[in-house]
């Protein structure tokens, strides 16, 4: 399979991933990125659905968020939500499900979408960053 075809399938996989998570705005962004990169696919064209599912299992969301926000540890991990005027730690970060939600403004996302919305990373860059933070373990343990 050529690089172009793999890239197209990857974008399709990513679209399906976001539709499954009801993150429709991300789908629009992906199509945008796709149109810009069509001639010259980025190196992360191997972000297959399987790789994304595996990555989701490895990601510890609170560690990702802690790179950008101050995370408090109570019953859950919490942080002041950067998407609304919040100083009460309304953003609840659930490592088990890999999701977070703001009780104040309703913002909710997973690690990938957080990097895209908060850090304005492109999908492919966010995917690469998470893979670097949580590398796949080698066989054995
Ligand atoms: Zn909020």
The DSSP result for 41-76, as a single string, is: --GGGG--HHHHHHHHHH--HHHHHHTTSPPEESSS
Please tell me the predicted confidence (pLDDT) of residue 12.
79
Give residue-wise pLDDT tens across range 38-96. 666 654 445 666 677 788 889 999 999 999 999 999 888 999 999 999 999 999 999 99
Give 74 Cα–ligand 1 centroid separation in angstroms: 18
Task: Tell me the CATH number of domain 3-133, given options 3.40.190.80, 3.40.630.10, 3.40.50.300, 3.90.580.10.
Answer: 3.90.580.10
Q: In what order do the strands lie in the sheet with 72-73?
A: 72-73, 77-79, 91-94, 99-102, 108-110
pLDDT of residue 42: 55
Calculate how far, in angstroms, residue 33's C-alpha sits from the geometric centre of ligand 1.
27
Q: Ligand 1 centre and the CA of 61: distance in Å?
A: 17
How many A from CA of 83 to the centre of ligand 1? 5
**129 near 121, Cβ under 8 Å?**
yes
Q: How far is the CA of 118 from the centre of ligand 1 (A)?
A: 12
CA distance 31 to 11: 8
Question: Tokens 């629009």 belong to which residue?
Answer: 28
CA of 125 from ligand 1 middle (Å) equals 24
CA of 88 to the centre of ligand 1 (A): 10
Q: Is the pTM of this model over 0.75?
A: no
CB-based contact 134:59 (threshold 8 Å):
yes
Give the integer Cα–Cα distance in Å for 27 and 11: 9
> How many Å apart are CA 111 and CA 113, to the nearest integer?
6
Average pLDDT, the chain: 83
């Amino acid at each position: 399979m050529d690089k172009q075809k793999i890239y197209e399938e990857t974008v399709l996989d990513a679209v399906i991933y976001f539709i499954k998570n009801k993150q429709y705005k991300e789908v629009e962004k992906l199509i945008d990125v796709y149109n810009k990169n069509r001639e010259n696919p980025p190196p992360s064209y191997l972000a297959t659905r399987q790789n994304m599912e595996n990555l989701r299992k490895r990601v510890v969301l609170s560690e990702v968020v802690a790179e950008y926000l101050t995370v408090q540890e109570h019953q859950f991990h919490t942080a002041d939500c950067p998407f609304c005027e919040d100083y009460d730690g309304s953003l609840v970060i659930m490592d088990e499900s890999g999701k977070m939600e703001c009780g104040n403004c309703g913002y909710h996302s997973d690690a990938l979408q957080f990097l895209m919305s908060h850090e304005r990373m492109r999908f492919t860059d966010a995917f690469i960053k998470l893979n670097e933070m949580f590398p796949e373990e080698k066989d054995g343990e």
